[in-house]
Structure 1
Amino acid sequence: MATVAPTVMPTEAAILLRLARWLGPGFPTGAFAWSHGLETDIAAGRVSDGPGFARWLRAIITKGAGRNDAILLACAWRAQDAATLDELADLATALAPGSERHAETRAQGAAFAATLVNAGELDLPALPLPIAVGSAARAAGLPLHETLLLHLQNFAMNLVTIAVRHIPLGQSEGQAILADLAPLIIEIADEAARSGLDDLGGCTLGADLASLEHENLPTRIFRS
């Protein structure tokens, strides 16, 4: 496995355009197929309205995979060799509870890397999503903080889209929840940019258990 060093530093406009493309809903990672356990909580009635979903999402971002993945992304961005990336990939998988969450981070990361390879942008191996994004951003000369912001926003946008369709919420309420998250996303990105592996940890046991329960839902739309 090898990282690709940037040869030309991109302009600010090029940075914004590339990050918006890589970390937007149109980039084919298959994120729409994964609910991160939200489908289970909706089916069980534990998340049934806008305020309840907003609390659920804030917890995931501040105390769950949102924060941990942001820290892992930052560590991958700073990684100096392939061996470190391999270790981070193993850690990212270990932090994902259950087979579906394992598949969620690995499938999306593999799709992200394959798209970059097929588009001729970067030669990137299949890695869990935060490791793939961090490694690719460094190789492309993209700044860490902006990458973290767009990554967290994309993570939140996918879950908001699921909530809008399946709670259901109105489009305006979903966008209001996303807009209210902006200060929190900035805060978590700032924290993650300064953090290392010793700062990893979480306490979203309810959401983690929901992702495990999802494997036994009689009717499932999503893969996690």
Structure 2
Amino acid sequence: MTTITTMNTTMTDPHALLTLTQWLSPSFPLGAFAYSHGLELAISEGAVRDAEGLESWLRMILTRGGGHVDACLLGMVLQGADAQEVGDLSEALAGSKERWAETFEQGQAFVKTVAQMGGPERAARALPVAVGEAARDLDLPDRTVIALYLHSFTSNLVSAGVRFVPLGQAAGQRVLATLHDEIERVSEAVLSATAETLTTGAFAADLNAARHEDMDVRIFKT
């Protein structure tokens, strides 16, 4: 890990951390704002109708659903797993057309933008795999990369909830802050993830992602 040592203080290279923060910023052109991860249907049907419901839904996503799966895949790549193999696994785990589009289209936009910024040309892959492959060059702690990825993932869904429930901005930020501990726990837990240990169990969210395709009126792609 690249570090800077000043007197008795050792810290992560700030330039690498700023680069990762930029990649995971809402301003990075992935089109993330257009995806709700099935949340739009949950809100439309009343399963999520307030801040407490949004927090509960997102906690499930982080611990048993797509957030957990993404964290596992990202951790595997950061720990040296073959990006092509993990990319294939990621696409195979997408339980619906929309779920595949959500992860692959954002990953495709990610590698394209990084290359246009002067980074290496890389094959388009699912988003967590693309981020993991690029983040290897930053030499940051794996847990830091995973935590910031999950924070970005969760923040985007909070934003979707704020817009569509609707919630006040402060309520949305309280939900996100409440989930920080969960993000830290998941980031730690997936450091030893492998293809054999990867599990998922957020069935309601998976079904919502599939049923969202048939909504007559929708404002999100997924």
Structure 1 length as normaliser, TM-score? Answer: 0.92
Q: What is the total number of aligned residue pairs between the two structures?
A: 214
In the alignment, does 2:166 pair up with 1:160?
no
CA–CA separation in structure 2 for the residues paired with 1:41 and 1:10: 44
Q: CA 1:10 to 1:125, structure 2 compared with 1: closer, same or farther past 3 Å?
A: farther
CA–CA separation in structure 2 for the residues paired with 1:141 and 1:113: 18
Give the partner amino acid of 1:76: V
Match of 1:17 in 2: 18
| SS of match in other structure, 2:139 | coil
What are the within-5 Å matches in structure 2 for residues 82-161 of structure 1?
Answer: 84-161=82-159
In the alignment, does 2:190 pair up with 1:192?
yes
Q: Which one of the candidate residues 180, 183, 205 is aligned to 2:181?
A: 183
Match of 1:71 in 2: 72
| SS of match in other structure, 1:120 | coil
Q: How far apart are 1:141 and its partner, in Å?
A: 2.5
Match of 1:36 in 2: 37
Q: How far apart are 1:23 and its partner, in Å?
A: 1.1
Give the partner amino acid of 1:221: I
CA–CA separation in structure 1 for the residues paired with 2:108 and 2:23: 14
Q: How far apart are 1:144 and its partner, in Å?
A: 1.3
Q: How far apart are 1:9 and its partner, in Å?
A: 4.4
Unpaired stretches in structure 2, ≥5 consecutive residues: 5-12
CA–CA separation in structure 2 for the residues paired with 1:46 and 1:38: 9
CA–CA separation in structure 1 for the residues paired with 2:64 and 2:41: 19
Give the partner amino acid of 2:83: L
Q: How far apart are 1:172 and its partner, in Å?
A: 0.5
Equivalent pair of 1:109/1:126 in contact (CA under 8 Å): yes
CA–CA separation in structure 1 for the residues paired with 2:115 and 2:176: 31
Cα distance per residue 1:147-186 (max 9 Å; x no partner): 1011000000000000001000111110001001111100
Cα distance per residue 1:119-147 (max 9 Å; x no partner): 11232221100100111100332331111
Equivalent pair of 1:149/1:186 in contact (CA under 8 Å): yes
CA–CA separation in structure 2 for the residues paired with 1:90 and 1:143: 25
Q: Which one of the candidate residues 147, 172, 175 is aligned to 1:174?
A: 172
Unpaired stretches in structure 1, ≥5 consecutive residues: 1-7
Give the superposed CA RMSD. Answer: 1.4
Match of 2:8 in 1: none
Give the partner amino acid of 2:63: T
- Structure 1 stretches of 4+ moved >4 Å: 8-11
How much identity, in percent, do the aligned residues show? 41
CA–CA separation in structure 1 for the residues paired with 2:87 and 2:20: 22
CA–CA separation in structure 2 for the residues paired with 1:79 and 1:30: 28
CA–CA separation in structure 1 for the residues paired with 2:193 and 2:201: 18
